[in-house]
């Protein structure tokens, strides 16, 4: 009986590489995805709506990315073909900057990386972090960069915070938080349609939003 179990285990183990699926890559393979960036300046990326100017990744390139990582099939919303160096800080659409990042692995996944991307964009645009340094650090090891610029590893409690990132931080009188759609460059005040609701965004004070070049919804 024990021999049969061992034999079954050995057979399953041997079949694993041929199952057509790989473990979701938490970190990109540096040989396939070293990261790559556009020749842009801080002024370029600080313009609200900057990422809208960048072409979408063509489907044929996405298929190549999945193939490179040995992912032959995947469920909807299982992966995002993500930019290792995000567009917000000058990353480009080269296949050298793309990898299939899991939405579902815990605690590290595409949603958590989004938090880091927004943080780095904010730091670079406010002059608190050099653009090249931000690009190098996120390309080198985005998890370490997260720990450095956002906070410690998101455990279960942190994970709740990450998914509930849309809960605005407590604000003091005179520093009411607005929700900035970092993709479109528009910010939303409490009670307005998309306050805390856009896919990409973050909370900050209105004065911070204006300082960084964002504009109020409906003002343009």
Partner 1 sequence: MAANHKLTALIKGRAIAGMQGSPGTTVISFADGSTMTVKTPGQTGAASSGTVAKVRQSGTELDIDFEDESTLTLTTAEATSCVMVRDKDGVMEYAD
Q: Taking CB under 8 A as the rule, does residue 42 contact partner 1?
A: no
Backbone angles phi, psi at 102, to 5 degrees: -70, 140
Smallest distance, Å, CB 92 to partner 1?
4
Rounded-to-integer distance, Cα 82 and Cα 102, Å:
9
Shortest CB 218 distance to partner 1, Å: 24
Per rule CB under 8 A, count of chain residues that contact partner 1: 20
Q: Does 26 bind partner 1 (CB under 8 A)?
A: no
Q: Is 44 in the site for partner 1 (CB under 8 A)?
A: yes
- Under rule CB under 8 A, residue 36 binds partner 1: yes
Nearest to 201 by CA among 174, 181, 217: 181
CB nearer to partner 1: pick between 95 and 123: 95
Task: Tell me if 135 contacts partner 1 by CB under 8 A.
Answer: no
Site for partner 1 in 175-204 (CB under 8 A): none
Closest CA to 104 of 35, 164, 23: 23
Local structure of residue 80 (DSSP, 8 states): E
66 Cβ contact partners less than 8 Å away, ≥ 6 residues apart? 72, 74, 79, 81, 100
Task: Decide: 108 and 26 in contact? Cβ < 8 Å.
Answer: yes
Q: Is residue 92 a contact point for partner 1 (CB under 8 A)?
A: yes
* Comparison of 55 and 199: residue with beta carbon closer to partner 1: 55
- The tokens for 44 are 């370029």
Asked if 152 and 158 count as a contact pair (C-beta separation under 8 A), the reply is: yes
Contacting residue, 32, 38, 42, 210, with partner 1 by CB under 8 A: 38
Give the residue, chosen from 42, 54, 123, 210, that forms a contact with partner 1 under the rule CB under 8 A.
54
Does position 123 interact with partner 1 (CB under 8 A)? The reply is: no
Helix (H) or strand (E) holding 188: strand 186-188
Candidates 32, 42, 61, 216: give the one binding partner 1 (CB under 8 A).
61
Would you say 36 or 137 has its CB closer to partner 1?
36
* Distance from chain centroid for Cα 48: 18
Rounded to a whole number of angstroms, the minimum distance from the CB of residue 217 to partner 1 is: 23
Question: How far, in whole angstroms, is CA 114 from its chain's centroid?
Answer: 3
Write out the H or E segment, with its range, that includes residue 63.
helix 59-68
Residues near partner 1 (CB under 8 A) are 36, 38-40, 44, 47, 50, 53-58, 60-61, 92-95, 97
């Amino acid at each position: 009986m024990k021999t049969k179990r061992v034999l079954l285990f050995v057979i399953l183990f041997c079949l694993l590489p041929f199952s057509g699926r790989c473990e979701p890559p938490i970190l990109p393979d540096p040989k396939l995805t070293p990261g790559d960036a556009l020749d842009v300046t801080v002024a370029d990326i600080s313009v609200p709506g900057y990422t809208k100017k960048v072409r979408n990744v063509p489907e044929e390139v996405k298929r190549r990315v999945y193939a490179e990582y040995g992912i032959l099939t995947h469920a909807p919303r299982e992966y995002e073909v993500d930019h290792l160096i995000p567009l917000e800080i000058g990353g480009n659409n080269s296949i050298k900057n793309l990898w299939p990042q899991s939405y579902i692995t815990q605690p590290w996944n595409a949603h958590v990386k989004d938090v880091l991307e927004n943080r780095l964009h904010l730091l670079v645009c406010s002059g608190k972090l050099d653009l090249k340094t931000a690009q190098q650090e996120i390309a080198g090891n985005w998890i370490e960069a997260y720990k450095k610029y956002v906070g410690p590893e998101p455990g279960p409690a942190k994970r709740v915070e990450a998914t509930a990132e849309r809960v605005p931080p407590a604000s003091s009188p005179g520093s009411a938080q607005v929700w900035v759609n970092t993709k479109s460059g528009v910010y939303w005040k409490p009670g307005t349609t998309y306050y805390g609701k856009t896919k990409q965004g973050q909370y900050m004070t209105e004065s911070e939003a204006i300082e960084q070049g964002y504009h109020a919804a409906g003002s343009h």
